[in-house]
Structure formats: C-alpha cells, structure tokens
Amino acid sequence: MTPKEAIAMAKENGVRVVDIRFMDFIGVWQHFSVPLSELDESSFDDGFGFDGSSIRGWQPIHASDMLVIPDSKTAKIDPFFEIPTLVLIGNIADPITRESYTRDPRNIALKAEAYLLKTGIGDVAFIGPEAEFFIFDSIRFESASNVSYYEVDSIEGPWNTSREEGPNLGYKPRHKEGYFPVPPMDKFQDLRTEMMLTLEKLGIDVECQHHEVATAGQSEIDMRFKPLVQMGDQLAWFKYVLKNVAYRHGHTVTFMPKPLFEDNGSGMHTHISIWKDGKPLFAGDKYAGVSQMALHAIGGILKHCKAICAFSNPTTNSYKRLVPGYEAPVNLAYSSRNRSAAVRIPMYSSSPKAKRLEFRTPDPSCNGYLAFSAILMAVIDGIENKIDPGDPLDKNIYDLPPEELAAIESAPGSLDEALAALKEDHEFLLKGDVFTKDVIDMWIEYKTKNESDAVKLRPHPHEFFLYYDI
C-alpha cells in the first residue's frame, strides 16, 4: 500500500485520527495519535518527532529527539477505538542524519531480511509462531520492601471447586488436563473465536484456536506463517488484539511464560523455513524429509541456542518454564517427533511446501522482531558454515540412562546464563550489521540491571515458607 492509498483508505473508512505505533526495545508496543489533518504523503518521509529518552533502553536525555517514520504498507483500521482510527507502524530514525536507529527492533528485523537476500541463500524467511497465553479473571500483585505476593484467579481454576459461585457448577480442568476438552469444561470458546475473527478482520490469517494443556484458561491461537518482518508486525497486533478483546469482556490476558505453579507454562514454538524463487529449500531426502541445508540450519540453531535465548526467552520468568526434567523443550537436540527436543521437524504433511523447522524453546514474552531475527541469523550461520547438528534424538529423553542424558546439552537455566551466553557468542548476530554491538551491550546491561538483579535482590515469598523458622 502506497502513502496515497493509505490516506485514501483512511478517508473511505471515515477516519478522524491516526495512531502511530512502534515497538520499544524490550517489546512493548508504544503509540501516540494525531488528527487525520496532520497526515499527508510527505509524512511518510518526514516522520513525526518524539522523546527517545523516555523509551526504555534508547536515547540519553541530552540526545533525546527522534523520528518515527510510518510505513504505509502497515495501514490498518483499529478495531477497538470509538473514533475511527488509522494505525500505522513506524520505523525509528535519527532526526539529523536520517539514519535508521540501531536499537529499533523493527529495523533489526528489516536488516535480517536484507541480509538473507545478500547471502544469496534465499529470498524469504517464513516465520510461524504458536504463541500460548493465559486468560485470567483477576490478577493482583505487589512488590515492596516489606511485602511481595501475587494472586491470579480463574473460573476454570481447579482451586475453585469449593468456592461459592452462586451456584458453583464445576467443570474446571484439572492441572495438565486442559488440552481440547469441549464446553462446559472449556469456558473460553466464544472469547477465543472473537479474538480469532478480530485478527482475521485485520487481515491476519489464522489457522486455528483451542484450549491448551494447563488449567485456568491457557489457550493458543495460531497465525499462518508470513515473512519475518510481517510476522513481527502481526505478533504486535496479536498481543494487542487478545488483550483488548479479553479486557472488553472483563478478563485479562498474559503472555508470561509461567504464571502458575505445578502446571504447564506458555511457550511459543516458532516455525521457520527459507524459500528462494518460490521454492522451499528445507525439503529434501535427508532425515525426516529435510534437505542438507535444513540440517545445517538446525546445527546453527543448536550451536547458538543459549545466546538466542537471551532474546527468545528474555525474562526471569522464562526460566521457570525451561527446567530440565519437566515438560519444556530444553534439550539441545533435534527430532522428527520428540517434543522434548529443542528443534522438531513436524511430520503432519509430506508436502515439500510444509517442510520447516520448529524451534520449541522460545516463549511469548519475547520481542518478536528481535527473537525472529536472532533465529534467522543462527540459521544462516549454520548454513554458511555447514554446521553438523549431530544425530537426531528419537528416544524418550526420560528413559535415557544417566550417561546418555549427560551428553545432551540443555538450554540456559536462568536469564543470567542466557545473557552470559550472548556476551560470549554474538558474532553471528553482527553479520551484515543486523544486530550491532550497542544493541548487544545495551540488551545485556538493561536486562541484568532492571530484571535479573532486581529479582535476585528481593526475598521470594516461598523462602519464608522454607526458612522463617530456622
């Protein structure tokens, strides 16, 4: 869509307001609004000014002026605002040099796509994330010097079987028994359908929606695969739509990977394939019907997985899900059907067009632009350097003898471990100036100081249970 077409679209839909959006460094969508009269074709070159020092991880106060330049191809009509509003996603630039900002996540994703083209390996990387989430009825939390607690609640929670609900009608999924039961056990069919149809109305292709394994409203809605930057845009819309549909009905959605103890966490299994001239490059005659290129791509993911996790599993809460011996795919191995492996080759279809890799370690707390870009850069590195992924893991990981199990590496066990891995292993990300050194350094600094250290410095409520009477 050209700037002229975007403006025409706004007028055809009675738009009176334009909402300019961009992704911050950490992964939260930001916005401000201007009247339609402020938007003309020159706006798509001139951009709009804002204070970059007020955005986490970006500019210092003495160099705060920045530009957001809207991309006309992203134009959509917001489905929630009372006044008809055109939404445009923008790219960040320096107002003096006009250079793209290195810490703009969308810019990094654009550079990752450009680098793939430059290598000649392929001309498009398709990304398909399966973002899981929880639908809660209530969330309360506090963190202060003398108090720390959280409490989530859900009509589906099995802890509420004895609650006075006037009347309590039961049908509450037990822990780990939420996968696919029909209503009345599944309380959120209509809500998820509204989410799915709202996404479709925005032009976002959806493949399915369903209840997930955990109790208390864990769900999944799958978007059909798209090119990397487009999927980064769509993941931002995805989180926005799900949160707002839930909010409209008195519920709350979270993409925290592990909000419940003793039940499954929320992952974001991420499918990736590379195509060239309209042909899939990961289909072949090797293991599980993949090509030698695909095996090398797997080798790249497995080699760099620990560093990738700094972006694909970027929260301290991420590592409450990634615990060896439990349900999460922490084993740095690949398989055609073993879901405990970090990389799986889905076997649902024999069509070459369906052949792709499923990286199962990521979770939906990530900034999609950064996570997808890091995964692609690891794939490219594996292909360029012909990295051998070793033998597939087709055995039950939980039945392996200790000596075999010890030979299989695991994903990081903490955010600190992931950040340390990124510090040691990031050369593959710097190729083509996709990620820059200032991005890596600021990511490690921000995450360490504001998240990892902040959690480590605070007493945990369970420590009082364990140690108060010592």
Q: How far apart are CA 288 and CA 380, in angstroms?
A: 21
Placement of tokens 């083509």 in the chain = 432
- Nearest partner of 342 among 267, 285, 411, judged by Cα: 411
Q: Which helix (H) or strand (E) holds 43?
A: helix 43-46
Q: How far apart are CA 21 and CA 69, in angstroms?
A: 10
Active-site residue list: 51, 130, 132, 212, 220, 269, 339, 358, 360
Placement of tokens 């103890």 in the chain = 261
- Nearest partner of 45 among 67, 66, 61, judged by Cα: 67
Query: What would you report as the CA-atom Rg of the chain, rounded to the nearest whole angstrom?
Result: 23
What is the sign, positive or negative, of the torsion defined by CA atoms of 326, 328, 330, 335?
positive
399: phi then psi, degrees, rounded to nearest 5 = -100, 0
- Nearest partner of 321 among 313, 312, 333, judged by Cα: 313
Placement of tokens 């990397």 in the chain = 228
Say which amino acid occupies 80: F
Q: How far apart are CA 461 and CA 147, in angstroms?
A: 9
With beta carbons less than 8 A apart as the criterion, state whether 134 and 216 touch.
Answer: yes
Q: Which helix (H) or strand (E) holds 231?
A: helix 228-248
Q: How far apart are CA 336 and CA 145, in angstroms?
A: 49
Alpha helices in 394-436 (DSSP H): 402-406, 415-424, 427-430
Token pair for 275: 């195509």
DSSP lists the bridge partners of residue 128 as: 271
Placement of tokens 């409490």 in the chain = 151
Q: Which helix (H) or strand (E) holds 77?
A: strand 76-77
With beta carbons less than 8 A apart as the criterion, state whether 303 and 358 touch.
Answer: no
Q: What is the DSSP letter of 100?
A: B
Q: How far apart are CA 233 and CA 23, in angstroms?
A: 9
